Amino acid sequence: MERRSRNRRRPALGAVFLCSLFFSAVQGYGADAFSTKAPAAVLMDAASGEVLFEANSHARLPPASMVKMMVGLIVMEKLKDGSLHLDEEVAVSAKAAKMGGSQVYLKQGEVFTVEQMMKAIMIHSANDASAAVAEHIAGSTESFVDLMNLRAKELGMQDTEFHSVHGLPPGRGQQMDLTSAHDMALLGRALVEYPKVLEWTSTVEEPFRDGKFLLHNTNRLLTRYKGMDGIKTGYIRQSGFCITATAARDSTRMIAVVMGTPNNATRAAETTRLLTLGFSSYKSVKLAGKGQAAKERLPVKGGKAKDLGLRYAADLSVSVKTGKTSEVVVKEELPASVPAPVYEGDAVGKAVALLGDQVLKSVDLVAAETVEKGSFFDRLFR
């Protein structure tokens, strides 16, 4: 059984001092006063999905190893639906064993569990493990790439086309993976819903192959930035230095994407600046939870019941500039009535979060129960 190591080094006092200075410098300033040296960047509130800052956010660029985030999402979704299990064994093919770049030197015929492979992928960015898992799930890496692109469309990743499961430079006759900072933020937001992913991506070092090999996390900010627990770095010559990073402080989680920087130092600096902007200038506020009852009941025309209850179809969470949270109000927008029949789960209205006249976010209000069409006598006596 593998021993998990999650020891963290305390950040140097100088780093803490510099972060404190920057935190003070951006206090009270929003994204309007912010710029970045990164060729493309996004800052997103994880709870609401609201983009707080963006620069060239839809520019299509190579993601390098950030491709593996989609591998991780598909694995987690299959674990959730029960079609895959963490203790399931994955055999290494000859093709997977030949993957270059970052790897854990898998050999043809070796067998590891899904969890061991996922640690190699999400901690160490192992290309060979990524290929082995893809083949195990879909039969071939090509078929798995099809799954990746289908899932990307479902998430609204309109700038993305995947051609590999690892993000390495394309070989002869192959095409480059392409995505955008915006799409990587969408993917990151989907991934952070899984605590197991964050457990892996926050691990600094981990023994592999019975301790004969040590996995090293490629995200050096884990030990340098408060609250950092993921997600994935990337680098090839064509992409420059990239990262989709996430950090949580109190009840607020931010996602920062930086793409195309010339070196690791710039990537780290711009990521830190983005996250600090988010934590210092914005606060995530949960106004209503998924399934929560709406304040009003909705009249039903011609139904067996005269009205029906409503519930929130999703969480209603927003990011608001610090000091403005008390000014946010929720308005439930409903028709005067709905005709029967109405079925449980039907969208019949919206709940809108407002800051003054600004719409921050809206979610559907759905029927909490079914109201069948009433008989002649039901309608007559009502």
Q: How confident is the model at residue 22 (pLDDT cuts 50, 70, 90)?
A: very low
pLDDT at 69 over 90: yes
Query: What gap in Å lies between CA 233 and CA 63, rounded to an integer?
Result: 9
Query: What gap in Å lies between CA 276 and CA 20, rounded to an integer?
Result: 10
Over the stretch 31-55, which tens digit does the pLDDT of each residue have? 667 999 999 999 999 988 889 999 9
Burial class (CB in 10 A: 0-12, 13-18, 19+), 17: exposed
CATH superfamily of the domain spanning 289-381: D-Ala-D-Ala carboxypeptidase, C-terminal domain (2.60.410.10)
CATH classification code of 13-20+30-281: 3.40.710.10
pLDDT at 186 over 50: yes
Count other C-beta atoms under 10 Å from residue 92's C-beta: 21
Over the stretch 231-286, which tens digit does the pLDDT of each residue have? 999 999 999 999 999 999 987 899 999 999 999 999 999 999 999 999 999 888 89
Q: Say which of 125, 164, 239, 319 is annotated catalytic.
A: 125
pLDDT at 19 over 80: no
pLDDT at 320: 87
| pTM to 2 decimal places | 0.79
Cis peptide before 341 (omega within 30 of 0): yes
Active site residue 125: yes
Active site residue 93: no
Q: Say which of 48, 65, 180, 319 is annotated catalytic.
A: 65
Q: Do domains 13-20+30-281 and 289-381 have the same CATH topology?
A: no
Mean pLDDT over the full length of the chain:
90
Domain residue ranges in the chain:
13-20+30-281, 289-381
Count other C-beta atoms under 10 Å from residue 169's C-beta: 16
pLDDT at 21: 35
Segment 309-322 shows an average pLDDT of 92
Query: What gap in Å lies between CA 317 and CA 286, rounded to an integer?
Result: 4
Nearest residue to 260 via CA among 82, 106, 74, 60? 60
Please answer whether residues 11 and 221 qualify as being in contact, where contact means their C-beta atoms are separated by less than 8 angstroms: no
Nearest residue to 312 via CA among 359, 367, 353? 367
Q: Say which of 48, 68, 239, 280 is annotated catalytic.
A: 68
Q: Which residues contact 176 (CB under 8 A, 6 or more apart)?
A: 62, 163, 169, 170, 238
Half-sphere exposure of 345 (CA within 13 A, CB side): 0
131-156 CB burial, b ≥16 within 10 A, e <16: bbbbbbbbeebeebbebbeebbeebe
* β 252-261/316-321 pair status: unpaired
pLDDT at 47: 85
pLDDT at 251: 79
Query: What gap in Å lies between CA 212 and CA 3, rounded to an integer?
Result: 12
Active site residue 48: no
